[in-house]
Amino acid sequence: MHFLAIETSCDETSVAIFTDELQILANVVASQIDLHARFGGVVPEVAARAHLQRLLPTMEEALRQANLTLADIGAVVVMNSPGLVGALLVGVSAAKMLALTLEVPLLNANHIEAHIFAARMAAGRDIFPCVGLVVSGGHTSLFHCKTPLDFDLLGGTIDDAAGEAFDKVAAILGLGFPGGPAVEREAASGDPKAHALPRSFLKDERLEFSFSGLKTAVLYALYGTGITRGPKPEPGQRRADLAASFQQAVIDVLVAKSRQALRRTKLTRLAVGGGVSANRALRAALEAMAEREQVELFIPPLSLCTDNAAMAAVAVEKWRRQMYAPLDLDAVPTYQGKN
């Protein structure tokens, strides 16, 4: 049984083909980074248009890599939530058209739950129940993942997402877009202890995150307390130290809150997903914590951390239960808890 999955929630057009045994035959990602870089962030209209142009060639490439034709596809999966509504609509419309013309079931997957399922795909074995940490451009959330389709939200961010903070700090430091990898590169030669930046809610019982104060603290460290504007810092030790201190503050909070969630739920597995989990320093810190706490850590390889369509294989579980999506399926921009 072959599934064709479509992901267009943000700035990556992706089509994957996988089997009911979760074997990935193709996972093609057409990045739009080049289009958005000059605006310093993702422009929703530009993203939607680019998806429209790139979706069919991406699908053809996925079929070519899998050595299949559309006639071999037994079900179509689309990630219909959350994301940019115009971008999501391109994928949702294409998936409906495909399911209708191929006369195969349509399935929907939730992008956030799919980010956790990517860890299951990479593990090659069951990882549920587990604590799930999703750290992406739009979300920073901890879940109690009972099954692939049954998540309880333990807590999330009250302002910026972790990835958003990376992107904003990259802009402040003049490091360009996308911010995450740029900050990581800059931080490599910096001292993470150079600046004492805030770690919100660190000692708090609540499993919540806040990163907007951290972003302001970076501005103050750069220009002086209360001053939020000034020239971009020159390349050099000072800029590297700021990047490293910022990155360490984010990592400390993500690690501490994950540990709190593990202790509270008494679960012994932690699955991590989303673009920020591509960060090597975060991965190393989570590994060290997991070892200390004696919990199993599941973080997918980089290609499955950032947005991709293969993680939509969470819908295979729905297909087994014949939980098909209707042909009037909507694009839903916000995370609604359950899908």
Cα–Cα distance, 19 to 11 (Å, whole number): 26
Beta strands in the chain (DSSP E): 2-7, 12-19, 24-31, 73-81, 106-110, 130-135, 140-147, 150-156, 269-273, 296-298
- Distance linking the first and last C-alpha atoms of the chain: 23
Q: Which stretch binds ligand KG4 (CB under 6 A): 20-28, 47-55, 102-110, 268-276?
A: 268-276
Q: Assess 274 for contact with ligand KG4 (CB under 6 A).
A: yes
Q: Assess 307 for contact with Zn ion (CB under 5 A).
A: yes
Sole binder of ligand KG4 in the list 86, 105, 132, 180 (CB under 6 A): 180
Residue 29 CB, nearest distance to ligand KG4 (Å)?
Answer: 10
Q: Assess 7 for contact with Zn ion (CB under 5 A).
A: no
Residue 262: CB atoms within 10 Å = 22
Cα–Cα distance, 229 to 142 (Å, whole number): 34
Using H for helix, E for strand and C for coil, what is the string for 133-186? EEECCCCEEEEEEEECCEEEEEEEECCCCHHHHHHHHHHHCCCCCCHHHHHHHH
Sole binder of ligand KG4 in the list 113, 160, 167, 317 (CB under 6 A): 167
* Interaction partner, residue 192 (Zn ion, ligand KG4, none; CB < 5-8 Å by kind): none
Q: Which stretch binds ligand KG4 (CB under 6 A): 97-105, 158-166, 235-243, 322-330?
A: 158-166
Q: Assess 163 for contact with ligand KG4 (CB under 6 A).
A: yes
* Interaction partner, residue 110 (Zn ion, ligand KG4, none; CB < 5-8 Å by kind): none
Q: Assess 279 for contact with ligand KG4 (CB under 6 A).
A: yes
In the DSSP assignment, the letter for residue 11 is S
Q: Assess 166 for contact with ligand KG4 (CB under 6 A).
A: yes
Helices (H) and strands (E) counted in the chain, each on its own, are 11, 10
Which has the closest alpha carbon to 65: 20, 18, 106, 129? 18
Radius of gyration of the chain (CA): 20
Give percent helix, percent strand, percent coil of the chain, each to the nearest 5. Answer: 45, 20, 35
Q: Assess 132 for contact with ligand KG4 (CB under 6 A).
A: no
Q: Which of residues 295-314 bind ligand KG4 (CB under 6 A)?
A: 306-307
* Interaction partner, residue 167 (ligand KG4, Zn ion, none; CB < 5-8 Å by kind): ligand KG4
* Interaction partner, residue 132 (Zn ion, ligand KG4, none; CB < 5-8 Å by kind): none
* Interaction partner, residue 3 (Zn ion, ligand KG4, none; CB < 5-8 Å by kind): none
Query: What is the binding site for ligand KG4 (CB under 6 A)?
Result: 10, 136-138, 163-164, 166-167, 178-181, 184, 274-276, 278-279, 306-307
